[in-house]
Amino acid sequence: MSLTYEVEFWAIRQRKNRRKPFELRWRVGDRPHSQSFRLKTQAEGRQSQLLEALRQREQFDVGTGLPASELHELKSPTWYEHACTYALMKWPDISAKHRAGIADALTAVTPTLVVASKEKRPPAATLRRALQAYVFQAARDDKGRVVLNDDGRPQARKDVETPPEDMATALAWMAKHSMKVSELKGSEVLRDALFALSHRLDGKVAAENTTRRKYSVFNNALRYAVERDLLAVNPLTRIDWSPPQTDDEIDFRYVPNPKLARSLIQSVGERGVRGEHLEAFFGCMYYAAMRPSEVAALGESACRLPDEGDAGAWGELVLSESRPEVAAGWTDDGLSYEKRGLKKRARKATRSVPIPPDLVSMLRTHLARYGTAPDGRMFRAAGGGRLRSTEYADVWQLARHETLAPADQGTPLAEVPYSLRHACVSLWLKAGVDPVEVASRAGHSVTVLYRFYAKVIKGRQDADNARITRALASGDADVNDGA
């Protein structure tokens, strides 16, 4: 593309015996250009457009004769093409769950960003499956490795594999009818996309966190369009719409207290062979505030257990790995889980968690009874692989049914195993452990701790105020000591 301000217009001329007799002529640089019209008023109107672009200080392209803005719009990719480029651009540097989340958000908005057509639209479910599985997912070779372009970026599955016939038809329709990125300026178009990402397929309003996550992806995809010079500005900034505010604070009415947490874990151990195997799994969540993905990756080498004769001694877990569960299509190696470092930590970072004697005993008993998997993992599925959420969740629900009163079984009380982690962090805070230390042991920031556990931290204020009162009343206290 060669741009210049050197533009000259000639008079409109009429050529007889032509279907479009009126010819508009102009020169850009040293190259002449022309366009024919049936009516002189049409030629004059087009000439006015070009002159206005010149008055607006736009440069013209020597090759096409068009103003830069028109050329930019002419070369604009469709949203469908851009969304695919965005998803695959992000792929190499993000987690498998993040990849799936991006695909989920783009799958929600892309079918809304289409031009009007009388051609029959594919079924919504087919179109969504095709987009998620073939457009926003990387292709793999016969060995399960991601297929890369010459520039080292992943290729979409649709570019390597042939989708089933119904999905291929749906994608062909999408490619044909998708709007150009340059057309994503009207509020009505964007509001249709915002409605789609904030509502479920059944028309009901989506969860607040789901809406915020999808909005973030859509917003970032539009920002990437600005980065690629496909849009001058992000059009969402002009729309009076904001994702809903979320109340991240945990509802502690449904977090099990210490007595209930211990009863649930004990009940797990009474649920047959699988329950016995999983008792220490849930113990790690309650006594060490571990995430399920961290417990699934826990190896014997991470356990620092005191000598067996030292019954009241604390131990330590040195965590370094997480194995979050995710569909195989989103991982680098085609497995149904991803081997990763700790959440929100550098790849090789570790986290030290002191563990009480109760958990020390559980882990020691577990190792004596079951040993470890060949790779050193302490907990594994019945078939030997990574312990799946469906397996331990089923055992948890059985224990919950046996432990809770009938009136509580229909409530969210201890509804999911993750509530044990909430129970552990709450216990630490109520016991007076410094919030910075609690955040360090739990593996998240102090900011997150205060956002999720604000009620517990606020509940400590009376005790903290009493400590300050005693310090102020102490006659020998010197605030400058150690300065």
pLDDT digits (tens, 9 = 90+) for 83-136: 999 999 999 989 999 999 999 999 999 999 999 888 899 999 999 999 999 999
| Model pLDDT, residue 280 | 96
pTM: 0.77
CB count, 10 Å around CB of 326? 20
Q: pLDDT tier at 475 (50, 70, 90 boundaries)? A: low
Rounded to whole angstroms, the Cα distance separating 359 from 305 reads 10
| Model pLDDT, residue 482 | 47
| Model pLDDT, residue 295 | 95
Helices within 152-269 (DSSP H only) = 165-177, 187-197, 208-227, 258-269
Q: Using one digit for the tens of pLDDT, what is the confidence trace for 15-59?
A: 988 999 999 999 999 999 999 999 999 999 999 999 999 999 999
Rounded to whole angstroms, the Cα distance separating 456 from 134 reads 46
Helix count (H) and strand count (E) of the chain? 19, 9
Rounded to whole angstroms, the Cα distance separating 71 from 92 reads 32
Using a pLDDT cut of 70, give the percent of the chain over it. Answer: 96
Beta strands at 22-28 and 31-37: parallel, antiparallel or unpaired:
antiparallel
Using a pLDDT cut of 90, give the percent of the chain over it. Answer: 63
CB count, 10 Å around CB of 468? 9
Return the structure tokens found at 2: 């060669």
Mean pLDDT along residues 230-254: 83
- Answer for the pair 114, 174: CB distance below 8 angstroms, yes or no: yes
Beta bridge partners of 351: 319
Q: Identify the burial level of 450 via C-beta atoms within 10 angstroms of its C-beta, where 0-12 means exposed, 13-18 middle and 19 or more buried.
A: middle
Rounded to whole angstroms, the Cα distance separating 343 from 320 reads 10
Write the CB contacts of 52 (distance below 8 Å, at least 6 apart in sequence).
Answer: none
| Model pLDDT, residue 441 | 94
Stated length of the chain: 483
Least confident of 146-160, 188-202, 355-369: 146-160
CATH among 2.60.320.10, 1.10.390.10, 1.10.443.10, 1.10.10.10 for 252-461: 1.10.443.10
Q: Using one digit for the tens of pLDDT, what is the confidence trace for 308-331?
A: 877 789 999 999 988 888 888 888
Which of 422, 417, 424, 421 is closest to 389 using CA atoms? 417
| Model pLDDT, residue 483 | 43
C-alpha torsion angle, residues 236, 242, 248, 253 (rounded to 10): -150
Integer Rg of the chain from CA = 31
DSSP assignment letter at 238:
G
Least confident of 279-293, 345-359, 368-382, 465-479: 465-479
| Model pLDDT, residue 207 | 87
**Rounded to 5 degrees, what are φ and ψ at 55?**
-65, -30
Q: Using one digit for the tens of pLDDT, what is the confidence trace for 50-91?
A: 999 999 999 998 988 998 888 878 888 999 999 999 999 999
Q: pLDDT tier at 454 (50, 70, 90 boundaries)? A: confident
The 3-state DSSP class for residue 180 equals strand
Query: Where in the chain are the domains?
Result: 3-74, 79-238, 252-461
Least confident of 13-22, 35-44, 225-234, 339-348: 339-348
Which of 102, 95, 154, 143 is closest to 338 using CA atoms? 95
| Model pLDDT, residue 251 | 82
Q: What is the residue-averaged pLDDT of the chain?
A: 90
Q: pLDDT tier at 260 (50, 70, 90 boundaries)? A: very high
H/E stretch holding 37 reads strand 31-37
Q: Which residue has the tokens 């220490």?
A: 280
| Model pLDDT, residue 250 | 81
Residue 142 or 438, more confident: 438
Q: Which residue has the tokens 């997150």?
A: 448
Rounded to whole angstroms, the Cα distance separating 209 from 246 reads 7
The 3-state DSSP class for residue 325 equals strand
DSSP assignment letter at 329:
G
Q: pLDDT tier at 471 (50, 70, 90 boundaries)? A: confident
